[in-house]
Amino acid sequence: MLDQLNRINLLYDIYAPLLTQRQQEVLRLYFSDNYSMGEIAAEYAISRQAIHDLIRRSLALIEKFEEKLGLYAHYNYQSERLYEVEQLLEQDSLKPEELVRLKEIVRELRSNNEQ
C-alpha cells in the first residue's frame, strides 16, 4: 500500500503539469494533504461521488501518460543504477570487477539518456 502511494505521489510530481488545475488540486488534497473525499467534496460544494470519479479519472490519465512517456520508469531505472554506484563507491578499495561494473553503469545511464 505504501509503495503504491509513493508511486502515485511520484507520478503526480512528474505529470501534474499535464492535468487541469482542479485535477491537480484534488489529487494534492487527497494524496499529499490527506483530506478525505468528504472534506474535499465540502470544499468544492460537490458530491463525494464526484470527487471519487475525479480522482479515479485523474489517476487513469496519469497512468496513461506514464504508459506513453515512461518518465517514472526512466526515473526508477536511473535511481537503481545510482544506488548501485553509491554502494560500490562506499567500499574502501574497488576490485577490478567492481570498477568494470561502475563503467558499465555509466555507459548504461548515458545510453538510456540518449534514447
pLDDT per position in the chain (115 positions), as tens?
A: 778 889 999 999 999 999 999 999 999 999 999 999 999 999 999 999 999 999 999 999 999 999 999 999 998 888 888 888 888 888 778 788 888 888 888 888 778 766 6
Catalogue the long-range contacts made by 107-111 (C-beta closer than 8 Å, 24 or more residues apart).
Answer: 108/81, 109/78, 109/81, 109/82
Angle between helices 48-69 and 37-44 (to 10 degrees): 110
Q: Which CATH number fits domain 2-69: 1.10.3720.10, 1.20.1530.20, 3.40.50.150, 1.10.10.10?
A: 1.10.10.10
The whole-angstrom separation of Cα 40 and Cα 94 is 54
Q: Which three cell numbers stand for residue 90?
A: 562506499
Q: What pTM does this model have?
A: 0.76
CB 75 within 8 A of CB 14: yes
Of 35, 27, 30, 25, nearest to 11 by C-alpha is: 27
The whole-angstrom separation of Cα 93 and Cα 52 is 54
Q: Which three cell numbers stand for residue 5?
A: 502511494
The whole-angstrom separation of Cα 29 and Cα 43 is 10
